[in-house]
Each structure stands twice: as C-alpha cells, then as structure tokens.
C-alpha cells in the first residue's frame, strides 16, 4: 500500500463504527506513565530470576545476554506496544482495528489478564502477611514456639553473621522458616488427609481487592497518582536496602563468591541466553498488553521512539542492581546452610520467603529491614494487579460502547468476581501451583509479542507503519532500528518462545504436580488461544468475496485513525482521503 492509499471505514464494510470515549482521559502527569511502567522492575519473579542467573553463570556473565535481549526484544516490543496504544488511544482489543482479522488476539490477552490477576492477588498476599508479621517484637519465623510449628522444629543458631557452609545443616537453620511459610501462611496441614484453608491469605486477598476497586473506580488520574507515589516509595526502599547490602562487613568475600566462575560455564552456559528473554518479558509487566494500554493514555505527539528506548534500559539496569542485591543475600545464606543453593530456582517463592527472612533475621533491627523489604514487594505486586485490572476494564469499555455508562459498576463487579475466584489459592489444593502459573505465562508473553510485531510491520505493512510513525513523531525512525524490529526481533522472540514452551511442558511433566493444577493451567493459559482461529473463521464467513478477497478485506485496517478529531483530520489529509470518512467524522462529532 502506498502512502496515498485510503483506510477502510466501518461504513464501507457495513459494520458498527468505532466511537472514541471522550471521557477516557489522559495521564495527569507525564511521569505517571513512566513510573507505571517502572513499577514492573520490582516484581518478585524479577528478583529471583536475576539472582538465579547470577549464580548459574558466574555473576557478571549475565550482563551480555541481558544487554543483547534488551535491544533485540524488550525495546522493539516496548516500541510496538507503545505505538499501537498511543496512535489509537484504545486498549488491547479495539487496537486490532489495525488488522481486524487478528482481533482474536485481543480476546486472548483479555482472558490471560483475567486469569493472571486472580492468582496475582494471592501472590501479593504473601509479602503483605510477612510485612504485618514484621511489626512484632521478634521475627516469629526464626523461632519454634508458635502454633504452626511441629514438635521436631529446631530453632536457628545464634552464631555470628558469617559462618562457613559446613557449620550448620538445613534442619538446624531453616526448619522454623519452612514451617512458617508452609504451615503458618500457606496452611499446608501436617495430616495429609486434611486440607486446611488459609484464612490470613483470604483476608489479605479481600483487602487487596478492596484497595484495587477503590483505585480504579476513580479513573486514570487517580490510578496515575496512586502508581506515582507507590512506585516512588518502592524505589526509595530498594535504594535503602541496596545501600544496607553494600554495608555488609563481608561484602567483598560474598561478592567474590558470587562472581567466582570456577565450576560455572559462564557465557557457554545456555541458561543465561534462554532465560534472558524471559527477564525482558517480565519487564513488560505480568499482564499482556499492559504497556499498550498504559501508552493509550499518552498525548498523541509524544516521542514514542525516545521513551521506548530509555525506559527499558533504565528498567533493566535497576533490575540487575536489585538482582545483585538478592544474589548477595543468597550467597550469604549458602555460607550458613549447605542446602541454600536450592533457593536459586526460577520463580521459586521459597527463596524470597525462606532464605531472605533468614538473612534479615541475622541483622540488627531485623524487623525494620524485613518490614521494608516486604513492603517493597507488596507495593510492586499490588501495582501490578491494579494495572492489569484497570487494563481489563479499559479494554472492555473501549470495545463495547454500551459498557461505558456502567464503567464503575463493571470495575467493582470485576473486583468482586476476582476476589471470589482468588480464594481457591487460599486452600492447600493450589498451595504449590504459583510457580506453574507464573512460568507458563512466559511463553504466552513471547508469542503475543511475536504476533504484535508480525501484524504491525508485516501484515499492516512497512510503508503504512513508517507513514504512521512519521505522522505521529513528525520524523522518521532509524533504518537500523526498523530492520531490527522487522527481521531480527521476531526471529529471536519466536525461537525463545519455542524453547521455553517445550521446557515448560517437560518441567510440568517431570514435577509431581496434581492433575487438577495441570488442568486449570491448560484452561486459563492454553485454551484462550482458540480465540484466534474462532474469530478468524467468523470474520471470513461474514465477509463477501472469494477467499483471497475476504482475506485482503479482513486484514486491511478499519477505522485506524487518531482519536482526536483534529489529528484525525490531519491524518486523513495526509492520506489524501478526507472525504472517505466524512460521514464517520460528523457522526462522532454529534456524539461528542
């Protein structure tokens, strides 16, 4: 398609036209968008995965794989999602007006986000409960005189702050922490025939969903303000904890152990290269399409190319610093307990809720440091739930005009449903399912990123894409960046998705996970992919013409305009087709 081609509108196709919501709003402060993206850095899985990679590859050897994947995966995907959201000012369903045949991807994203916030609220409950326990005079997880402890529990040693690994064994040092996590929080019963309910978990989930409902109820301005202040607090706490880690008396020895490459393969080890794309996908957020939705509240002329470069670079830099901090904690624990290296496991909550509490329990003012650490994790996970829930409500209201008048009721109802469904994670039936739910999401993130690039730069087309970017930015993007985006990035992302998908299946087969957990994961993570063929078939059947003609009509952009009437008119003039959608413009103006 040449730059002078027209854009199909709903009247031509005989469909209901898209009507922009004039009450949708924009970010009150530009930094609200930046901080909303930045909050993903402090998610729990980022801490564990960075620490695991540093241990496996030998410290600094992870920097090269992460650097390469930042420029080949994170920045291109961040740019594509930001462009799609900012240009269209719509959520992740309606944005596929750019190529209507693939609108089923939007419904996949909706289903995946809905399932992810359900167990995501339970994930946020863990650090919240540890945060509350930190207010007690003693860190209860270090002792055996609690109601959840067994008769065989042995309290941690009171020896000095740095002991070689042969001085203690796992039962001497970590037994009370194991019992607090599994029997005090998760409520795994000592009797295999009894299935307990964790009422602290359920009450924590209730409080979280009340907060989420109150925040999203007020719209984008309040959401932006809440994310702004909580992210600043989170970053401030991370900085304080990092400085405290640097003040450890044995920091040099601990760091030397972390960066010791003897016995480790370094760059030759495949895991850093395989896992690095997952770290980049984690930086995009736990949800799918959240960056796209956040960018849809940006001003139309904002420099997408610039912030899509510096935001990912800053995010990965901070993530590596935080990963170093947590890795140092892991080495400290490994020098006291020979089994501690077990905690260097991807998506392992045991690392954050057994090894890390042990570390803080050995510091002076342990309650304060524990309180700060778990407050940081809680705020980050809470922000993630808020962003995903708000993205669901926004996308539904963008797509279905009739829901806009019930937007607040929709948000409250969604929070209530998510709370009721999240209570299943307060039972022992799903006590061990968090890792499987989290790890199975990476493949979906990679595949959706691949499809987004495929649709924008291949199906929508090179000339169309460059024309739209030039119109929005008032300049061209770099040729090098575009060819990386068009050729190198999709190949790398697809390879990573295939490798991780196969690895996830093999791990789930080998692990003794209950069949009901596998069934639920398949339903919430795999089954939504039927939306793509289902929507494609329905769309093609509803279109007139031969199969090639139907395919061309369904992949052609429909109502793909800027939301602002002034920008839309300029865009149509740039296409040389302002007369094509004059009726649509008049109808929308009358609605506004």
Spatial distance between the Cα atoms of 308 and 304, rounded to a whole number of angstroms: 6
CA nearest to 135, candidates 363, 312, 371, 347: 371
Q: DSSP letter at 431?
A: T
Q: Give the CA distances from residue 128 to residues 47, 123, 182, 223, 501, in Å, rounded to whole numbers and listed in that order.
A: 17, 9, 16, 20, 32
Cβ burial of 329 (10 Å; 0-12, 13-18, 19+) is buried
d(CA 563, CA 462): 22
Supply φ then ψ for residue 33, to 5 degrees: -65, -45
Distance CA 428, CA 517 (A): 11
- 384 annotated as ligand-binding: yes
User: Which has the closest alpha carbon to 421: 181, 140, 163, 119?
Assistant: 119
Instruction: Check if the beta carbon of residue 444 is closer than 8 Å to that of residue 111.
Output: no
Do 295 and 81 contact (CB within 8 A), yes or no?
A: yes
Query: What b/e readout covers 153-174, taking b as 16+ CB neighbours within 10 angstroms?
Result: beebeeeeeebeeeebeeeebb
Say which residue the tokens 């008396």 belong to.
249
Beta bridge partners of 178: none
Partners of 8 in the β-ladder = 558
The distance of Cα 208 from the centroid of its chain, to the nearest Å, equals 18
DSSP of 530-564? GHHHHHHHHHHHTS-S-HHHHHHHHHS-BS---SS
Instruction: State yes or no: 43 annotated in a binding site.
Output: no
Q: Residue ranges for the binding site?
A: 46, 384
Q: Residue ranges for the binding site for Na(+)?
A: 46, 384
């Amino acid at each position: 398609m040449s730059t002078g081609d027209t854009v199909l509108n709903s009247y031509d196709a005989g469909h209901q036209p898209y009507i922009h919501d004039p009450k949708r709003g924009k970010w009150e402060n530009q930094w609200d968008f930046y901080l909303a993206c930045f909050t993903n850095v402090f998610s729990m899985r980022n801490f564990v995965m960075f620490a695991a990679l540093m241990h496996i590859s030998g410290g600094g050897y992870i920097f090269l794989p992460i650097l390469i994947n930042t420029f080949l995966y994170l920045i291109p995907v961040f740019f594509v999602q930001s462009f799609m959201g900012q240009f269209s000012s719509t959520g992740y369903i309606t944005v596929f007006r750019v190529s209507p045949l693939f609108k089923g991807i939007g419904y996949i994203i909706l289903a995946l986000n809905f399932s992810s916030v359900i167990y995501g609220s339970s994930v946020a409950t863990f650090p919240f409960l540890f945060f509350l326990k930190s207010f007690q005079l003693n860190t209860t997880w270090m002792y055996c005189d609690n109601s959840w402890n067994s008769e065989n529990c042995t309290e941690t040693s009171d020896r000095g702050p740095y002991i070689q690994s042969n001085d203690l064994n796992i039962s001497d040092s970590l037994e009370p922490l194991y019992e607090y996590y599994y029997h005090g929080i998760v409520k795994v019963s000592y009797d295999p025939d009894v299935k307990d309910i964790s009422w602290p978990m359920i009450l924590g989930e209730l409080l979280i969903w009340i907060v989420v409902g109150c925040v999203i109820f007020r719209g984008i301005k309040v959401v932006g303000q809440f994310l702004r202040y909580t992210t600043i607090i989170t970053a401030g706490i991370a900085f304080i904890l990092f400085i405290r880690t640097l003040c450890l008396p044995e920091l040099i020895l601990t760091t030397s152990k972390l960066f010791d490459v003897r016995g480790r393969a370094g760059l030759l080890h495949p895991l850093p290269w395989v896992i690095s794309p997952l770290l980049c996908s984690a930086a995009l957020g736990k949800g799918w399409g959240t960056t796209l939705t956040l960018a849809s509240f940006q001003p139309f002329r904002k420099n997408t190319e610039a912030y899509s470069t510096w935001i990912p670079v800053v995010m990965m830099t901070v993530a590596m610093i935080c990963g170093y901090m947590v890795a140092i904690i892991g080495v400290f624990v490994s020098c006291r307990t020979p089994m501690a290296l077990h905690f260097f496991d991807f998506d392992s909550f045991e690392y954050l809720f057994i090894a890390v509490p042990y570390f803080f329990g050995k510091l002076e003012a342990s309650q304060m440091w524990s309180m700060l650490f778990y407050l940081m994790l809680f705020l980050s996970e809470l922000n993630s739930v808020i962003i995903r829930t708000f993205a669901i409500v926004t996308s539904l209201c963008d797509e279905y005009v009739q829901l806009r008048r019930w937007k607040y009721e929709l948000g409250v109802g969604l929070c209530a449903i998510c709370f009721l469904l999240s209570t299943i994670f307060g039972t022992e039936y799903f006590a061990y399912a968090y890792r499987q739910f989290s790890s199975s999401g990476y493949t979906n993130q990679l595949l959706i990123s691949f499809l987004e690039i495929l649709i924008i730069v291949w199906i929508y087309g090179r000339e169309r894409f460059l024309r739209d970017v030039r119109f929005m930015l008032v300049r061209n993007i770099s040729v090098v960046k575009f060819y990386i985006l068009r050729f190198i990035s999709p190949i790398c992302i697809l390879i990573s998705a295939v490798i991780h998908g196969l690895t996830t299946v093999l791990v789930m087969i080998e692990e003794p996970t209950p069949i009901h957990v596998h069934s639920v994961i398949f339903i919430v993570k795999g089954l939504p992919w039927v939306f793509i063929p289902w929507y494609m078939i329905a769309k093609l059947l509803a279109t007139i013409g031969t199969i090639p003609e139907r395919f061309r009509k369904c992949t052609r952009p429909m109502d793909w305009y800027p939301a602002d009437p002034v920008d839309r008119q300029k865009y149509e003039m740039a296409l040389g087709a302002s007369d094509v959608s004059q009726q649509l413009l008049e109808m929308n103006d009358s609605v506004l």
